[in-house]
Amino acid sequence: MDIVQGFLSSTAFSMLSWGNLVMILVGLCFISLAILKEFEPLLLLPIGFGCIVGNIPSVAGMQIGVYDPGSVLSFIYFGVSKGIFPPLIFLGIGAMTDFSTMLSNPKLVLLGAAAQVGIFLTLIGALYLGFTPQEAASIGIIGGADGPTAIFLSAKLAPQLLGAIAIAAYSYMALVPVIQPPIMRLLTSRAERLIRMPALRQVSKRERIIFPIGAFLITALIAPGSITLIGMLCFGNLLKESMVTERLAATARSALIDIVTILLGFSVGASTQAQTFLRPQSLLIFGLGALSFAVATAGGVLFAKFMNLFLTDKINPLIGAAGVSAVPDSARVVQIVGRKEDPTNHLLMHAMGPNVAGVIGSAVAAGILWSVLAN
Amino acid sequence: MNMVSGLDTGVHNIINGSGIPIALTGMGVVFVALLLVSLFIALLPRALRFLEQRFPEALATTSEATVTLATTQGTDEVMIAAVVAAVAHSTSTGQRG
């Protein structure tokens, strides 16, 4: 009888808290969104299942959870907590990104810079609410709409908030089609949404090969903190564009990025144990993250309108919203919103320019914040 | 004090944390970095045209190599297509060997 009682007390049921149940429901919600609505399924499904796994309580003394030293999950989570996975994802992104649209219209790069305003305004907001500068910077970077960058910076500056920031960043990336369109419509007139942009010029092979080297040198020299992320992004792109390392590029953009995404998503999900995740600060992080993302979207759109004051060939301000670095979701949203006004106006390729510039911009912003606040 | 989060809220946090200088400097550096990237992209085609005029031989060799490679690949593809067509033709007409 004692053995049966001992066994029953060692089951997870006896240790399950209401917080664990809430987080398991959150995990189920993520899985449902991924499968039923196809919202970022590659991310939300691993994160959702990780949430469930991470919230099954284990017996004291057993090394199972992400935060238990020596457990299998802690070794997988090592890639997140030490910032190893994000640069590998950037390598894959570089190997799958075609920078031609950005190279054919360089002024659109500035929209990728303007959208980073959300990061820095949210930093001020988070400071006001009492977060430390390191925590505030990590929360602000959610506005870059770049999950790997958010994880990279919070792993360096505020590891205690990593779970909440990662979940917030990926949730808002998944919600790009929901959050951005109302802001885009609010800040633009119908006439502006109807603006047609001239066809993009052909970009030579040589330009595409030289660009990742030049862009890396410029950004790394200005913001050395961004070397890891931008370096891997540009390296991946050089593998692709050089045409002599096709096998490496193919691995980076398929097998490697898929493996890292699985490990990152699952272990981030498993890190959301109720005891560490369900705190009032997490709610504030979610609120500030949404604010950051909205401000970033508005910043891009408003800066596009500002640029139009000086340009003879006007740009459609909707593409400013793609300055956040959710590639290619933001560009797709721009295309959808643009086509609602004029079904024959295709903005996707134009929006890809600011979109990939946003990836560089948020990585540079993360590098600056890291170098300023690391000590 | 924020009763919900237990955090100490207030403008003094922004001042003590150097929030405004960090935000302004950060935004400025991001803009400068991407402005320079933008200028680099804008000048790149011109620089390449200039180099092509200045060192036509070196760049011509590269172009020639590319063209040769493309032509070779093209020839291979044509040959493969010809072989497939011949096999298809011989199969459809019942020819063997």
Sort out which chain A residues have CB atoms less than 8 A from B41's CB and list them: 102-103, 106, 109, 207, 211
Cβ within 8 Å, pair B6-A280 = yes
Task: Read off the pLDDT of residues A310-341 as tens digits, 9 standing for 90 and up.
Answer: 999 899 999 999 998 888 889 999 999 999 99
pTM exceeding 0.80: yes
Cβ within 8 Å, pair B26-A368 = yes
State whether residue B39 sits within 8 Å of chain A by CB: yes
pLDDT at A60: 72
Q: What percent of chain A has pLDDT over 70?
A: 100
Task: Read off the pLDDT of residues B5-42 as tens digits, 9 standing for 90 and up.
Answer: 567 888 999 999 899 999 999 999 999 999 999 999 99
Residue range A249-259: mean pLDDT, rounded: 96
Rounded-to-10 torsion of CA A26, A31, A37, A41: 120
- The predicted complex's ipTM stands at 0.89
Structure tokens at A45: 């499904």
Reference A92, options A315, A332, A359, A342; nearest CA is A359
Task: Read off the pLDDT of residues A176-219 as tens digits, 9 standing for 90 and up.
Answer: 888 999 999 999 999 999 999 988 888 999 999 999 999 999 99
State whether residue B46 sits within 8 Å of chain A by CB: no
pLDDT at B66: 42
> Please, which residues 69-88 of chain B have a Cβ atom closer than 8 Å to chain A?
none
User: Does the pLDDT at position B58 exceed 70?
Assistant: no
Sort out which chain B residues have CB atoms less than 8 A from A129's CB and list them: 2, 5, 7, 9, 13
Choice between B96 and A307, residue whose per-residue pLDDT is larger: A307
Parse chain A into domains and list their residue ranges. Answer: 64-373
Give B76's pLDDT tier (boundaries 50, 70, 90).
low
Cβ within 8 Å, pair A106-B31 = no
Cβ within 8 Å, pair A128-B13 = yes
Number of H helices, E strands in chain B: 3, 0
Nearest to A130 among B9, B27, B66 (CB): B9
